[in-house]
Structure 1
């Protein structure tokens, strides 16, 4: 049985590239995949978090405003055009509010009110919170990339390949904001024992809003991924967004 996935990562709302995200949702409307997976850092949640501790931002807070923003600008538009399964993996930015609460107000953390699925009303939108390591096909997992002690690389695709070699399973991940595919084959006597694949699926963030870049340009690539599975065969494909456009199967989408 064939299954088709659209995999997106690192929107980091409300700092997403709004035109890019709208175009990808428009593509989902046309493509109608069997599952949409947001592979982590759907949200940025700059405060409250450990980064805003002991600053004015700690007391200003935008967590609920940002959650409402994501409902209006991600889940609602996506559900307007797509009624299939939506899965979300929690990324390192997504967990900031609950991690902050667990550290500085543990008694309140027990309520679960600051978990990603509650704040963004996953139940209401028919979305599900996926495990940190999502085994979507035999020998393959999706994960955000901040867990598992993965060796980071500046070369696109190599971080995911490092993860694949560490886990002994092919890996599709986000986190690096880069797009690339790498593979590693082992065996002996001319016989292939195992081939592992690592793929990084890029980002849909507006880099100009990344204050920590201090006006620079990151080694990031914008885009998303398509994954097709057929029994034990997995075909990963990257879709680069360049020059305010991308193309899939000969169809051009403009931002």
Structure 2
């Protein structure tokens, strides 16, 4: 029995590309995959980041305001048109509130009030809290990419492929904001004994809102991943958003 997944990453609400994210949500509603996985950096959470410590930015905005925004603009619209399985992994931005509380108010940390599943109310929206390394098929895992000491490269897909070699498992990841796929095969006697795949699923962020780029452009690509699993066979496909549109199975979706 086959199973399909739509994999998204790095929305970083409230700095998402609103039109791109809305288009992907509409696509999910039409495509109706068996599972939707957000593999991390759901929310940006700039206030409790180390970049803002001891600056006025530490006290501007609100963790709860950003959570409310994310529920209103990502989670609720997705749930309104999709009743299937949804799973979230935690990215390095998502853990900022929890780490901040643990470091500066440890007596309050045991309340778990700043854990992502509590902040975003996973229970109400029937979202599964996925492990940092989500083994979704034989020899395949999904992870955000900030854990496991994965060396970063500038070539799209190469970071995930490096992680696949490191873990001896095919890897689907985010974190780099890049979109690409690579493969590495080994064997002898003219026969391939193993092929590892690494896929990076891009981002749905609005680059213009990334203030740290100071008006520049980064080596990022918008997109998401489409994965089909049939037993031990896994087909992973990066879907690029370019020119305000993307194409899946010959159908063009406008952003």
Greater Cα shift, 132-141 or 50-59: 50-59
Cα deviation, 1:44-72, whole Å, max 9, x if unaligned, reads: 00012222111112223410000000110
Shift of 1:88: 0.5
Q: Does 1:46 align with 2:40?
A: no
Shift of 1:140: 0.1
Query: TM-score, length-normalised on structure 1?
Result: 0.98
Shift of 1:34: 0.2
Secondary structure of 2:253's match?
Answer: strand
CA distance in 2, matches of 1:152, 1:189: 33
CA distance in 2, matches of 1:50, 1:241: 31
Report the count of equivalent residues. Answer: 255
Query: TM-score, length-normalised on structure 2?
Result: 0.98
Q: Does 1:27 align with 2:41?
A: no
Q: Does 1:251 align with 2:251?
A: yes
* Equivalent position of 2:214 in the other structure: 214
Matches within 5 A, 1:38-187: 38-187=38-187
Whether the aligned pair in 2 keeps the contact of 1:48 and 1:62 (CA below 8 Å) is: no
CA distance in 1, matches of 2:123, 2:91: 19
Secondary structure of 2:136's match?
Answer: strand
Shift of 1:202: 0.2
Secondary structure of 2:102's match?
Answer: helix
Secondary structure of 1:36's match?
Answer: strand
* Equivalent position of 2:193 in the other structure: 193
Cα deviation, 1:111-137, whole Å, max 9, x if unaligned, reads: 000001100111010001100000000
CA distance in 1, matches of 2:239, 2:141: 19
Cα deviation, 1:167-200, whole Å, max 9, x if unaligned, reads: 0000000000001111111122222121100000
Greater Cα shift, 48-57 or 217-226: 48-57
- For structure 2, the 5+ residue unaligned runs are none
Secondary structure of 1:87's match?
Answer: strand
Secondary structure of 1:236's match?
Answer: strand
State the superposition RMSD in angstroms: 0.8
CA distance in 1, matches of 2:183, 2:203: 21
Whether the aligned pair in 2 keeps the contact of 1:146 and 1:175 (CA below 8 Å) is: yes
CA distance in 1, matches of 2:200, 2:151: 13
CA distance in 1, matches of 2:128, 2:109: 21
- For structure 1, the 5+ residue unaligned runs are none
Whether the aligned pair in 2 keeps the contact of 1:48 and 1:61 (CA below 8 Å) is: no
CA distance in 1, matches of 2:140, 2:229: 10
Secondary structure of 1:68's match?
Answer: helix
